Amino acid sequence: MNTVYLDNAATSFPKPQGVSGRMKYYLDCVGANVNRSVYTAAQEAGLVTLTLRQRLARLFRFPEPPTHVILTPGATFALNTLLSGLLRPGDHCIVSGMEHNAVMRPLLRLPEVSVSRLPCDSEGFADAAALPGLLRDNTKLVVMAHGSNVCGTVQDAEAIGRICAEHGVPFALDAAQTAGHLPIDFSALRLSALAVPGHKGLLGPGGTGALLLRDDLAQRLTPLTAGGTGSASDSEYLPDYLPDFFSVILSRGQIRMDETKCSQGHVQVQGTLQFRVLYRTGQNEWNICSLEGEIPFHEMMTLDEAKEFDMAQTEAILEDLTVRMINARKLNIRALVEIKVWARERVELNIPVAIDSEYPLEELHNTEVYLELCYRGTERWKLKEEVRLPSNKPNIRQLLWQQHQLLGREIRANQGNVQVQGEIQIFLLYLGMEEDRLQWLELRVPYQYELDVAEAESDMIPCVSGQEPVMICRVQEDTDGEERMLLLEADTPVELRLYREVKREQLVDAYSLERQLQLQTKQVKFPQL
């Protein structure tokens, strides 16, 4: 006996083969609870949910960050979350005359919330032209089923959305019967909320759904449920703050090389990735926070020429920094770093200056100028400058972002020291002490400092190699106790070499009037000092 399934309005059947396969994989191989820890399986589960949010956002052309896609046990739960979280006593809501009880039952149980019904014709189509006449000053929401599970009527959501947008009233669409069957463009329909089940047209397992919320509406919702994981999990009360990630705005990083060691055939490098992430919390348009941190790394690289006592020089280039949200409290940070390594050794170079011969010879000499290495060592590139905010800028409540660039660096050797001077170009983004608006500041700060080197003399030529100084900017109080001072600090190891020009006579040719000579030359390669 063959069974014909005709109840797809309730749930889809049969499910695609991959659905049961992925559920079995999760139960057998993952098993972790989402957002509960940072071990590999928990991160994998978190990435699955993030990917799902991203795909739902793309499917419905949702303009907000994926974190505004709220995963629910179904469309009914999503609608309950929306209605119970948004509407307050004294509010007014408009529905169509064809609404499902998933909308009507939670609406009618809300105390002192009035409901108006948009009339429908004999085929179940709502009269969009009648909507403006039902709007009131206290109308907080228009909610409507996109498609009817009884008669199959599909409402003109675009017309309803246009009228709601013209009057500044949020429009929510119940897409229980249309999601996955009909194209739904969140922006084109001018939606504020969209409720969808996962187990019907989207062909997912039972007990799944989602609520897509525009940010301004999300900020007005009171959570339907409380408890479980999330922010401030050690507190018995639902926190009144939400410093969680809603969307990443900017991210940047820099590499600090901490140590380099040579061994036979290998070079060991240790360094640190310093990162800063600028993100929006979603609380309001201006609520922006930043996060900074460090990730150490250690690498062993093969270099056949390296020996135990060689001096190695490294250069680290951050080629890519990728920041992905696992959930609202966890980030996945990956960096691609190119490390260049040179191993150096001092070599003796013999330069011919004369020929010892029993025969009379004529010699040709040239005077060559060489750079003689007088000093080589590792010094600390230290910098400390104080900068005061301009008078037209408010005090600093929170420093969010900083970028710097060194300009016009000059290095000069003096008797007993090496002097370094230049300018630092700085860009800052911060929150003012008494304002919610973002503040920015761009300025140039001259700097000057000295490296104490006893071997240094004024006729020497200095050369500094190594990484750019890692700059740290901190906020501190001025003499009046106000947060108006910026302290710029850097402490980075660099290799300093001092050269002196020396003149040497070099034999370049020789000949004899008595004998035939044949001079042989040979090209040699040696490390650059």
* pLDDT for position 359: 73
Q: Average the pLDDT over each of 113-117, 143-147, 266-270, 509-513 and give the range with the smallest value.
A: 509-513
Say whether pLDDT at 346 is over 70: no
Contact 294, 282 (CB under 8 A): no
Contact 449, 382 (CB under 8 A): yes
Percent of the chain with pLDDT over 90: 27
* pLDDT for position 136: 94
* pLDDT for position 1: 65
Contact 226, 278 (CB under 8 A): no
Parallel, antiparallel or unpaired: strands 114-118 and 92-96: parallel
Per residue in 153-184, pLDDT tens?
999 999 999 999 999 999 999 999 999 999 99
Per residue in 106-154, pLDDT tens?
999 998 999 999 999 989 999 999 999 999 999 999 999 999 988 889 9
**Average confidence (pLDDT) over 423-435:** 78
**Average confidence (pLDDT) over 195-210:** 92
Q: Report residue 231's pLDDT band, with 50, 70 and 90 as the boundaries.
A: low
3-state secondary structure of 388: strand
* pTM as predicted: 0.51
Say whether pLDDT at 528 is over 50: no
Q: Across the chain, what does the average pLDDT equal? A: 82
Contact 414, 456 (CB under 8 A): yes
Q: Sort 43 into a burial class: Cβ within 10 Å, 0-12 / 13-18 / 19+.
A: middle
Say whether pLDDT at 228 is over 70: no
Per residue in 432-461, pLDDT tens?
776 556 788 888 888 888 888 889 999 999
* pLDDT for position 255: 86
Expressed in angstroms, the distance from the first to the final Cα of the chain is 88
Q: Report residue 429's pLDDT band, with 50, 70 and 90 as the boundaries.
A: confident
Which domains can be identified in the chain, with CATH numbers?
Answer: 17-218 (3.40.640.10), 247-344 (no CATH), 371-502 (no CATH)
* pLDDT for position 180: 93
Instruction: Identify which of 333, 336, 342 has the alpha carbon closest to the alpha carbon of residue 269.
Output: 342
- Residue 264 tokens, joined: 């036979």
Q: Average the pLDDT over each of 40-44, 152-156, 376-380, 406-410 and give the range with the smallest value.
A: 40-44
CB atoms within 10 A of CB 445: 16
Parallel, antiparallel or unpaired: strands 396-414 and 417-432: antiparallel
